[in-house]
Amino acid sequence: MSKQLLLGDEAIAQAALDAGLSGVYAYPGTPSTEITEYIQMAPITTEQNIHNRWCANEKTAMEAALGMSFVGKRALVCMKHVGMNVAADCFVNSAITGVKGGLIVIAADDPSMHSSQNEQDSRFYGDFSLIPMYEPSNQQEAYDMVYSGFEFSEKLGEPILMRMVTRLAHSRSGVERKEQKPQNSISFSEDPRQFILLPGNARKRYKVLLARQDEFIKASEESPYNKYTELKGYLGIGVKVKGRLDGTLSQDGELNPDSVARAVGKENKSEFGIPSVVEMRPPALCEGCGHRDMYITLTEVLKEEYPSHKVFSDIGCYTLGANAPFNAINSCVDMGASITMAKGAADGGLFPAVAVIGDSTFTHSGMTGLLDCVNENASVTIVISDNETTAMTGGQDSAGTGRIEAICAGIGVDPAHIRVVTPLKKNYEEMKQIIREEIEYRGVSVIIPRRECIQTLARKKRSK
């Protein structure tokens, strides 16, 4: 078969397509995003009607994929490592239901936090949920594991977790493809109660999962991907193995040639230094970005008129409001936490409590927090800075585009306190007046500054 030069992420996508994939379910997040983007662009996806639309969040992705597996078809779920925390409820339980059609979950870890808020190790999720896990060491293995992994998942009747890391996801190598398989046709489990996790059934299924661990270990020992090369007789002769745990290597961050060379007492001379013209510069919002206009007006009102304010932000381009010149935000914890933290702080007596969240993060996990606010008529001012895309991860579709006000009204926000503005310099006075009015309103108010991200706008213009 032909060899292609593929990113690790692309190797996964190509393998899934070649293995007869029926649907990819994902929410964008570095370093996993390119898997879904590759599937979206592949001609076979349209030809064979393979599901490929972005999901609202990782939990909905995992659940929809389990539904696809329920009907006997092959599904792929992709997310960055922190997405595993969002998907965990369904993911852990899917080990107990088991699967019908092959199901592979890709967790793309980001050691050294190149673009993440933590560097958790997703392999613990494999251990924790007691299912088999793959960890490829190169692009070809990533391809081979996914290609054969669907069949393996169907044979075991369990989902498979595959852990990637940034360097492998984002570097290229030649990958040999295998033959194209057709999609599975619809079929159902022989056990009509397989997916019903009522306690009586869940207890039984959990016992079965536990009893099957030896079988999984055997499969692991016989796997062509597990090789043991006798290095210097380390195992079994009492030679001390040095590494992260004894401090020889740092417990955090990724391993690289420099850190390993230092650990074994060798000097590793860099061949290519950083040219002197290259200067480190902190990331910043693009010139002309609507989030800038939002922060300029918001901080002017808050700093001058409400010195006791706090701003709870969220995760997206607008998190850069933490940096100068804005220095506008006081928190950024996890997707959706802006609204809920603002509510908790307001419950505790803070005034004004302001949340700043993007449109994609709002539909990912801000909506439920808004419902909590509405149910208690919390005194919070929520700014949904709507740039009509998921900009931070490269401009993917955003699940609520065109419907943000309707969603807020549907959740129960008083329509009089859902205020839409266009974040442009000429509207600054109007924006500041709206911010004042909504802060003064002691209930739930939502301000929606809406202007398309200039990067996606420019891309659309170029493609026209």
Ligand X SMILES: Cc1ncc(C[n+]2csc(CCOP(=O)(O)OP(=O)(O)O)c2C)c(N)n1
Q: How far is the CB of 462 from ligand SF4 (least distance, A)?
A: 15
The residue number with the shortest CB distance to ligand X is 358
Q: Which does 350 bind (CB under 5 to 8 A by kind): ligand SF4, ligand X, none?
A: none
List of residues contacting ligand X (CB under 6 A): 27-29, 80, 82-83, 86, 315-318, 335, 358-361, 387, 389-393, 398
Q: How far is the CB of 284 from ligand SF4 (least distance, A)?
A: 8
Cβ(343)–Cβ(372) below 8 Å:
yes
Q: How far is the CB of 339 from ligand X (least distance, A)?
A: 12
Q: How far is the CB of 290 from ligand SF4 (least distance, A)?
A: 7
Angle of the 199-211 helix axis to the 213-222 helix axis, nearest 10? 40
Q: Which does 454 bind (CB under 5 to 8 A by kind): ligand X, ligand SF4, none?
A: ligand SF4
Q: 52, 387, 393, 445: which one contacts ligand SF4 (CB under 6 A)?
A: 387
Q: How far is the CB of 443 from ligand X (least distance, A)?
A: 24
Report the site for ligand SF4 in 388-417 (rule: CB under 6 A).
391
Q: How far is the CB of 243 from ligand X (least distance, A)?
A: 29
Q: Which does 358 bind (CB under 5 to 8 A by kind): ligand X, ligand SF4, none?
A: ligand X
As a whole number of angstroms, the distance between CA 27 and CA 37 comes to: 11
β-bridge pairing 3-7 and 172-176:
antiparallel
Q: Which does 455 bind (CB under 5 to 8 A by kind): ligand X, ligand SF4, none?
A: ligand SF4
Q: Which is nearer to ligand SF4, 289 or 346 (CB)?
A: 289
Nearest to 226 by CA among 166, 149, 137, 155: 137
As a whole number of angstroms, the distance between CA 283 and CA 190 comes to: 54
Residue where the block lists tokens 């669907």: 150
CA 226 remoteness from chain centre: 28
Nearest to 370 by CA among 405, 401, 398: 405
Strand order of the β-sheet with 353-358 is: 310-312, 353-358, 380-385, 444-449, 418-421
User: 145: Cβ–Cβ under 8 A, 6 or more apart, which residues?
Assistant: 15, 134, 136, 162, 225
Determine, following the binding rule CB under 6 A, whether residue 328 of this chain makes contact with ligand SF4. no
Q: Site map for ligand SF4, 280-319, x if CB under 6 A?
A: -----xx--x-x-------------------------x--
∠ CA(151), CA(157), CA(163), 5° rounding? 65
| Residue ranges in contact with ligand SF4 by CB under 6 A | 285-286, 289, 291, 317, 387, 391, 453-455
